């Protein structure tokens, strides 16, 4: 017998599906899709955000030459001190403290001198963010194992899921930068304050929004058990079959993110806490069998190497 929360979760899922296709959908249209009135649609939407079933919709710049961002993956002696040091550095867009193959992960506006041994560095590709399928972790693992067993490497055709535009430029004005920073972590923010503070017309804002699919990756995160039920992991993979790896991890039922730096594919996944094994030296997604899956991928020649780390803390700025 379904509970009230179960019914609400179905509505949260429908809200996610709708935002995935239409990030700025009107509440009246969302209410029609949910089959409830506008007031309750807004209430369900607010609950989904407040309890972090859903994050976003958000946007990130594509990797055009005039919008490009630099990434560092670093090993260092005092990661806690180094992490805190960069919290207010306005050249650092995002940085995280890791436990595993790396100690620190930076996304920056440009190259700069940094303390530590650099494992990987370079300009990032576009981001790719998965659509979280509506199935259990057990189903996901069966699908992953089946995909690995059935892959036909001889007839593998790349899809080019991750795009890179480092040799291209795109129109991007100071006003576009203002709009981007305002909407970066919430594409549904009200436009009134933006128009009032920066004297930008509604027409100019809508022109910016219409160009978003060309200038930015727009996405919505979904966590069926709420974000606090998961632990984030960052995988670094070397492979000639990156689209297969992306499709593989996209079968996990919580949102996964992907990008490339140099010849490495980075995969950011969220794993249910009860599937995590913790010991004195490392944290692994043990019960989820991901380490065993990666070993199988190595043996089949699908990946050449892999490393992973748990994400302990992170700081993200409106830059």
Residue 171 scores a pLDDT above 90: yes
**Model confidence over 5-36: pLDDT tens digits?**
788 899 999 999 999 999 999 999 999 999 99
Is the same domain home to 136 and 244?
A: yes
Measured between alpha carbons, how far is 296 from 302 in angstroms, rounded to an integer? 9
Q: Closest Cα to residue 262, out of 236, 295, 244?
A: 236
| 63 within domain boundaries | no
| 140 within domain boundaries | yes
Contacting residues for 84 by C-beta, under 8 A, at least 6 apart: none
Is the same domain home to 90 and 156?
A: no
**Model confidence over 297-311: pLDDT tens digits?**
999 999 999 999 999
| 56 within domain boundaries | no
Contact 119, 74 (CB under 8 A): yes
pTM over 0.85: yes
Contact 42, 29 (CB under 8 A): no
Residue 273 scores a pLDDT above 70: yes
Averaged pLDDT for residues 216-243: 95
CB-hemisphere CA count at 13 Å for 242? 19
Least confident interval from 115-119, 181-185, 216-220: 115-119
Count Cβ atoms within 10 A of the Cβ of residue 90 and give its class: 0-12 exposed, 13-18 middle, 19 or more buried. exposed
Is the same domain home to 137 and 183?
A: no
Measured between alpha carbons, how far is 209 from 274 in angstroms, rounded to an integer? 40
Residue 291 scores a pLDDT above 90: no
| Residue 36: domain span | 4-51
Residue 220 scores a pLDDT above 60: yes
Is the same domain home to 280 and 146?
A: yes
Is the same domain home to 205 and 89?
A: no
**Model confidence over 110-159: pLDDT tens digits?**
998 888 899 999 999 999 999 999 999 889 988 988 999 898 888 899 99
* Predicted pLDDT of residue 1: 47
Residue 286 scores a pLDDT above 70: no
Q: Is the Cα torsion angle 79, 83, 89, 93 positive or negative in sign?
A: positive
| 59 within domain boundaries | no
Among residues of the chain, what percentage have pLDDT more than 70?
Answer: 94
Is the same domain home to 251 and 303?
A: yes
Averaged pLDDT for residues 239-254: 95
For residues 147 and 4, which has the higher predicted lDDT (pLDDT)?
A: 147
| 228 within domain boundaries | yes
**Model confidence over 73-84: pLDDT tens digits?**
999 999 999 999
Measured between alpha carbons, how far is 141 from 176 in angstroms, rounded to an integer? 42
Is the same domain home to 145 and 207?
A: no
Q: 250: which 2 tokens? A: 């996209």
**pLDDT tier, 277 (very low <50, low <70, confident <90, very high otherwise):** low
* Predicted pLDDT of residue 4: 81
Is the same domain home to 153 and 228?
A: yes
Q: Give the domain-ending residue among 202, 218, 234.
A: 218
| 186 within domain boundaries | yes
| 279 within domain boundaries | yes
The number of distinct structural domains making up the chain is 4
| 58 within domain boundaries | no
* Predicted pLDDT of residue 2: 63
- Report helix, strand or coil for 221: strand
Q: How many CB atoms lie within 10 A of CB 224?
A: 19
Residue 97 scores a pLDDT above 60: yes
Is the same domain home to 294 and 158?
A: yes
Measured between alpha carbons, how far is 191 from 21 in angstroms, rounded to an integer? 20
Is the same domain home to 210 and 277?
A: no
Averaged pLDDT for residues 93-117: 93
Is the same domain home to 158 and 283?
A: yes
Is the same domain home to 103 and 187?
A: no
* Predicted pLDDT of residue 143: 92
Measured between alpha carbons, how far is 200 from 203 in angstroms, rounded to an integer? 8
């Amino acid at each position: 017998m379904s509970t009230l929360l179960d019914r609400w979760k179905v509505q949260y899922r429908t809200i996610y599906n709708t935002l995935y296709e239409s990030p700025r959908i009107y509440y009246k249209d969302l209410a029609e899709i949910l089959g409830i009135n506008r007031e309750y649609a807004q209430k369900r939407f607010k609950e989904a955000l407040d309890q972090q079933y859903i994050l976003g919709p958000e946007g990130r710049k594509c990797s055009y030459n005039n919008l490009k961002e630099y990434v560092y993956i670093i090993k260092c002696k005092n990661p806690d001190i180094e992490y805190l040091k960069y919290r207010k550095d306005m050249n650092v867009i995002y940085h995280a403290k890791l436990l595993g193959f790396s100690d620190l992960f930076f996304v920056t506006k440009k190259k700069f001198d940094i303390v530590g041994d650099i494992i990987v560095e370079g300009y990032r590709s576009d981001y790719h963010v998965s659509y979280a399928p509506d199935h259990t972790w057990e189903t996901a693992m069966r699908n992953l194992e089946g995909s690995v067993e059935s892959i036909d490497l001889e007839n593998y055709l790349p899809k080019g899921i991750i795009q890179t535009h480092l040799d291209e430029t795109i129109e991007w004005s100071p006003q576009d930068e203002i709009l981007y920073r305002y909407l970066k972590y919430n594409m549904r923010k009200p436009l009134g304050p933006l128009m009032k503070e920066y004297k930008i017309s509604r027409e100019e804002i809508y022109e910016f929004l219409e160009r978003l699919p060309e200038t930015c990756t727009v996405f919505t995160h979904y966590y069926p058990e709420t974000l606090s039920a998961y632990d984030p992991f960052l995988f670094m993979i070397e492979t000639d079959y990156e689209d297969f790896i992306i499709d593989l991890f996209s079968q996990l039922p919580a949102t996964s993110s992907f990008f490339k730096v140099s010849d490495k594919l980075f995969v950011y996944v969220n794993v249910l806490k009860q599937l995590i094994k913790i010991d004195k030296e490392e944290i692994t997604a043990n019960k989820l069998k991901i380490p065993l899956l990666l070993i199988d991928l190595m043996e089949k020649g699908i990946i050449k190497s892999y490393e992973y780390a748990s994400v302990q803390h992170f700081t993200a700025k409106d830059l």
